Structures are given as C-alpha cells and as structure tokens.
Amino acid sequence: MKTAPVMSVLRGARAWTAGRPWLFDAALGGGLTVFDVVTLATRDPAPGPMALALWGVQTVPLLWRRRLPLAVLATMTAAFVVFEAADPVPGKTPGPYFLIFGVYAAARYAPAAASLAASGGALAAAVAVDLALGRSPAPRPDSLEPITATTFAVFLGVAWLLGHARRRIDADARRLRDLNARLRAERERNARQAVAAERARIARDLHDVVAHHVSAIAVQARSTEDVVRDDPGLGRAGVARIAETADTALVEMRRILGLLDAGHDDGDAEPSLRGLGRLVEAAERAGCRVRADVDAGAGALPQVVQVSAYRIVQESLTNVLKHAGPAEVRIALRTSDGALVVEVGNGPAAPGRTPVPGSGRGLIGLRERVAAFDGTLRTGPCPAGGWLVRAELPLEGVR
C-alpha cells in the first residue's frame, strides 16, 4: 500500500486547518458525534431517539474544547455517567474512552493544576459508575483488559500527559515568537539609532569643515579688502588664498558626503592627525602665527581618537579665526596618564577686531566629541589674554 499520497493529503489538510481551529474542532466533535450516532442507529433492533441522543451528546461538547476545556470535560463526564446509569442500550456500553479527547483538551488548554484535578475527577466518576453498575471488574494492576478500571486510568493518564506536553510546547513556541518579535524590534530600534548617530556625526563633520574654511575665507577676504587698493599684488595673493581655501573645503565636503554612498570606499574619507599640517597651513594663510607641538606617537593612536582630536583642533582654529582673527596660536597634543590631551590656545585679538558671528554649534560639537570618550573639556580665557581650549580623551578600552 502506498502511504505517500495519503500522508501528503493529511499534511495538506493539517496545514489548511492550522489557521482555522474552529474547523478542526467542528470536524472532531461533529465527526465523532455523527459516526457514533450512525453506528448505533445501524444496530438491530435500532435504539430509540433517547438512546441516540444520550450516546451522541457525549462528544458534542468537543466543539468548544479550546474555549471551555474544563467545562467540556465536565459535560462529557456527566453525559457518560447519565448514559451508563440510564442504560438505554442494554449490553452496549462505550466505556469512558470518549473522555480521552476531553482530558487531552483540558491538559492542553487549561492550567496544569486545574486540568489534572478535572481529569482525576472525570476518571474517578467514570470508574465509580462502572464499578457501581458492575460494568467493569475491580482494578487489577496486572490487567489490561479493555473494560477494566486499570485500563481506563492508563488511557486517560496518557491523554493528560500528551495534552500537557503539547501545552508546554505551545507555550515555548509563544515565548520564542515573542522573543523573536522583541529581537526584531530591538534590531530596528538599533538601526534607527545608528542612522541618527551617523547623520549627527556627518552633520558635525560638515559643520566643522564648512565653519573652519568659511571662517578662514572671511578673515582672508577682509584682509585682502584692506590691502587690495594699496598693494594689488598682495591683494591678488589674498584672492588666490581664498580660492585655495574654498577648493580645500569642497574636497573635504566631498569626502564627508562620500560616506553616504554605500558603495563608496575611500580610505582617506576620515581625517587623522597626519593631516594636521593642512589645518596649520590654512590658519597661517589666514594670517595666524601657529606653533604646533605634537607627540611623535600620536599618529599611532586609534583612528577614532585621531578623528576626534583632528576635529577638536579644527573647531578650535575656526573659533580663533572667527573671534580673534590673525593671532598667535599654540597647538599641543600629548599623551598623559592614559589619555590624549589636546590644547589649542591663542593670543589676544588685534585692537578693533570685529568677530565673525557664530551659531554656537561649534562648542556643542566639541562637548559631544569629548563626551563620547567620557573625557573632559575646559574652555575659557587665558590669564595673559586670548582663549584656551583643553580636551582630555581617555584611551583606555578604545580601539
């Protein structure tokens, strides 16, 4: 006999009814009821309507086995007891085997303690009525005859164990689905946070680049304006420096915006302390007199530290150009007590200097960069005049 087509049909039917539990319950309860009634009705002589009703009512409650499992088991047990007591079909007893379906449903869909108590009560009631009416012999541990109380206990016990095991499997499956849903939500939340953090980082970098170079252009333009009439050659040189600074700003902006391209791979997209000379040159072209003192090992620091240190120096020089203009500038980067110390100080502004208006985002960006390392940032006036920015970036645990 070929069983493959039959198994395929059964699997298909199970898959189709998986999303329609009411249909499976209707097939189970209604099918058993129809089968029992038809089987009994074909007996000769045929039993009366009362006998058929008492026989069939034992399985009708299975239609509600998911919603009211304990009530279904109690109703099926009561129907069995009434059928046995009424004895409407002499010599014909179904035994409490229909209760197997009720016990299984109670164990699967009701709490373990309640279903175990209900199943024990159903078994006790069924065995008691059969013993009282003499339908089955007294329990014997060595007996497995179909109508003994021992057999009833074995079958109902196995049904409860199967139902309880399926309940635990369903509970584990629900927990796994809930855990998967939480993991998906967590991944989506982390992805959104990562996107927001990346946007904020790119916005800070854009601000640093644009503010730095535009401030340098503004200072150079004002200086050129002062000399262009008296010394056209010096004015042309100033205009050339403005153009060069603008070109540098465009190059750096393209590098930063290139990070938004998923397929872009440019090892020079992020700055490092190796490019600190470009900042010094830009500040010197704007008229500043810069002295830089950088530890020899700074270039070997982790890239994330170098990027932050570079941006801190860049933003500090931007503030110098905005507020002090051409001035003495001191840059120092050194490692001390497991941290990178970045200091940028400048001398006082020239008399009559008009500061370039700022947005205040520069200092915010500095604080955010330093806070990312749990570091410290101090800014304030120098005793001899001018301004000092000092940032300390701890290196412990940074890769």
* Spatial CB neighbours of 97, under 8 Å, sequence gap ≥ 6: 155
Tens-place pLDDT, residues 331-375? 999 988 889 999 999 998 877 777 766 656 677 778 888 888 889
DSSP state at residue 300: G
Q: Provide the whole-model pTM.
A: 0.46
* pLDDT at 264 exceeding the cut of 50: no
How confident is residue 318, by pLDDT bands cut at 50, 70 and 90? confident
Cα–Cα distance between 334 and 201 in angstroms, integer? 25
Q: What is the pLDDT of residue 210?
A: 67
Give the torsion sign (CA, 135, 137, 140, 142). negative
pLDDT (tens digit per residue) in 107-151: 988 998 998 999 888 888 888 887 777 666 665 555 555 556 777
Q: Do the strands 328-336 and 376-381 form a parallel or antiparallel pair, or are they unpaired? A: unpaired
Q: Is 89 helix (H, G, I), strand (E, B) or coil?
A: coil
pLDDT at residue 7 in the model: 54
- In order of 10, 187, 223, 368, the CA distances from 364 in angstroms are 67, 29, 29, 6
Higher pLDDT, 16 or 384: 384
Burial (CB count within 10 angstroms: exposed 0-12, middle 13-18, buried 19+), residue 179: exposed
pLDDT tens by residue, 189-239: 877 776 677 667 666 766 666 666 666 777 667 667 666 667 777 677 767
Question: Rounded to an integer, what distance in angstroms lies between the CA atom of residue 106 and that of residue 97?
Answer: 15
CATH topology for 202-394?
Heat Shock Protein 90 (3.30.565)
pLDDT of residue 267 exceeding 50, the answer is no
Mean pLDDT, all residues of the chain: 76
The pLDDT of 371-387, averaged and rounded, is: 87
Q: Where are the domains of the chain?
A: 19-185, 202-394
Q: How many CB atoms lie within 10 A of CB 2?
A: 6
The span from the CA of 238 to the CA of 228, in Å, is 9
User: What was the pLDDT predicted at 64?
Assistant: 83
More confidently predicted of 354 and 13: 354
Q: Distances from the Cα of 178 to the Cαs of 17, 19, 166, in angstroms? A: 23, 19, 18
